[in-house]
């Protein structure tokens, strides 16, 4: 007989989704603060990839069967719908991703001069909307 380890337990998924949500919040706070000064295109690309990672991680963990009942028991709140809460967080993370893709075209991100490469910098005025979207991500995690 083999050890059955192929299913993710609701407890593991709940802990993971909470850690990922908190990490996304801390990351979004840091990047929003950094955007009060010029923010490089390289950092913008890193933000894009990191937000895609958190979106996917939260999506996977929140889909684990039994996570809603487990979260309600852990939080002692029968009305707590973790899937709905994480769906709102996922939507806000997706808004960050969509804004980067729409506002900062990749063709403007860098230039080459021989072997040297320079990254464009975006001013605080250019990142105002993006900062607001990051602040929304932050506000959805308590």
pTM exceeds 0.95: no
- State mean pLDDT over 107-134: 80
Label residue 110 by pLDDT band (50, 70, 90).
Answer: low
Label residue 71 by pLDDT band (50, 70, 90).
Answer: very high
Question: Which residues, other chains included, contact 31 with Cβ-Cβ below 8 Å and sequence gap of 6+?
Answer: 39, 43, 47, 134
Question: Which residues, other chains included, contact 133 with Cβ-Cβ below 8 Å and sequence gap of 6+?
Answer: 92, 95, 96, 99
Residue boundaries of the structural domains of the chain? 10-139
Give tens-digit pLDDT for 117-127.
677 889 999 99
Bridge partners (DSSP) of residue 39 are 122
Bridge partners (DSSP) of residue 77 are none
The pLDDT score that the predictor gives to residue 120 is: 82
The pLDDT score that the predictor gives to residue 124 is: 97
- pLDDT at 105 > cutoff 60: yes
With tokens 């105002």, the residue in question is: 128
Is pLDDT larger for residue 120 or for residue 131? 131
Angle at 27 between CA 22 and CA 29, to 5 degrees: 95
Label residue 34 by pLDDT band (50, 70, 90).
Answer: very high
b/e sequence 58-92, b meaning 16+ C-beta within 10 Å: bbebbebeebbebbeeeeeeeeeebeebbeebbeb
Read off the DSSP letter of residue 7.
S
Label residue 28 by pLDDT band (50, 70, 90).
Answer: very high
Cα–Cα distance measured from residue 89 to residue 25, given in angstroms and rounded to the nearest whole number: 10
- pLDDT at 141 > cutoff 90: yes
The pLDDT score that the predictor gives to residue 104 is: 80
Contact 127, 39 (CB under 8 A): yes
With tokens 């605080």, the residue in question is: 124
């Amino acid at each position: 007989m083999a050890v059955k380890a192929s299913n993710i337990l609701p407890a593991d998924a709940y802990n993971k989704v909470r850690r990922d949500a908190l990490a996304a919040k801390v990351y979004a706070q840091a990047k929003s603060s950094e955007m009060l000064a010029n923010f490089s295109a390289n950092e913008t690309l890193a933000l894009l990839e990191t937000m895609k990672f958190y979106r996917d991680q939260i999506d996977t963990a929140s889909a684990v069967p039994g996570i809603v009942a487990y979260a309600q028991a852990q939080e002692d709140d029968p009305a707590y719908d973790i899937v709905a809460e994480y769906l709102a967080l996922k939507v806000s993370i997706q808004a960050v991703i969509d804004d980067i893709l729409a506002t900062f075209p990749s063709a403007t991100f860098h230039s080459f001069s021989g072997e040297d490469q320079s990254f464009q910098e975006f001013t605080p005025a250019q990142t105002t909307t993006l900062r607001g979207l990051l602040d929304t991500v932050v506000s959805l995690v308590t």
